Structure 1
Amino acid sequence: MFLSALELRRIIETSFLPKRCECTLSPDLLMTVKVYADGQTDHLDLNVTGIDASGLNGCREINELITQLRSGQHHVEVESHSILGKAL
């Protein structure tokens, strides 16, 4: 991964503005992304866990991940879904 965890989180979280997005990254580079319906409630529009962030080595991979996350945004839980060819 060429970016720091903080930089990667900021890129992903700001890509969902104006919605609130929370991105966490574990020490073993597994990412969780939560996108909330609005700023006032904790209703989730999207909750994806187990994203392998070790494959995010450039802008193209990050943009592809964001596009795939956005396309699944209408599902509250996205599990057993493949992102960037990696099983979650």
Structure 2
Amino acid sequence: MVPISVLCSIVESGFQPLSCDCTVSPSGLLDIKVFDAATGRINLLINGVSPAGLTSIRAISDLVGELRTEMSAGRRAFAG
């Protein structure tokens, strides 16, 4: 199992050059916000991601890849 702090660090580094905040909610779920630090524009806002399936670097990388694909496709369902 990957510690939550490491998991969040990997997620946050996966969206560079944009900024990313990955935090753990009181319920233990992840909240992920990807934004442009210069403008403050939010590109992606996801709340309630379960860390249960993110047990390996590969699984975390796959999640980041899926979220980047959604961002590049301009899917408003995921954007804040």
Quickly name the TM-score band, shorter chain normalised: 0.7 to 0.9
Please, what TM-score do these two structures have when normalized by structure 1?
0.75
Higher relative contact order at CA 8 Å, sep ≥6: structure 1 or structure 2?
2
SS for the counterpart of 2:2 is: coil
Is residue 24 of structure 1 aligned with residue 23 of structure 2? yes
> Residues 11-51 of structure 1: CA distance to partner in whole angstroms, max 9, x if unpaired?
00011111111111125431111111x22222111111111
Deviating runs (4+, > 3 A) in structure 1?
none
Is residue 43 of structure 1 aligned with residue 33 of structure 2? no
Amino acid paired to 1:56: L
User: What runs of 5+ residues in structure 2 fail to find an aligned partner?
Assistant: none
Task: State the distance in 2 between where 1:60 and 1:18 align.
Answer: 21
Instruction: Give the match for residue 82 of structure 1.
Output: none
Give the alignment of 1:51-70 within 5 angstroms. Answer: 51-70=49-68
Considering only aligned residues, what root-mean-square deviation do their CA atoms show, in Å?
1.8
Instruction: Give the match for residue 10 of structure 1.
Output: 9
Instruction: Give the match for residue 78 of structure 1.
Output: 78
User: What runs of 5+ residues in structure 1 fail to find an aligned partner?
Assistant: 80-88
Instruction: Give the match for residue 84 of structure 1.
Output: none
Aligned length: 77
Greater percentage in helix: 2
Please, what TM-score do these two structures have when normalized by structure 2?
0.82
SS for the counterpart of 1:32 is: strand
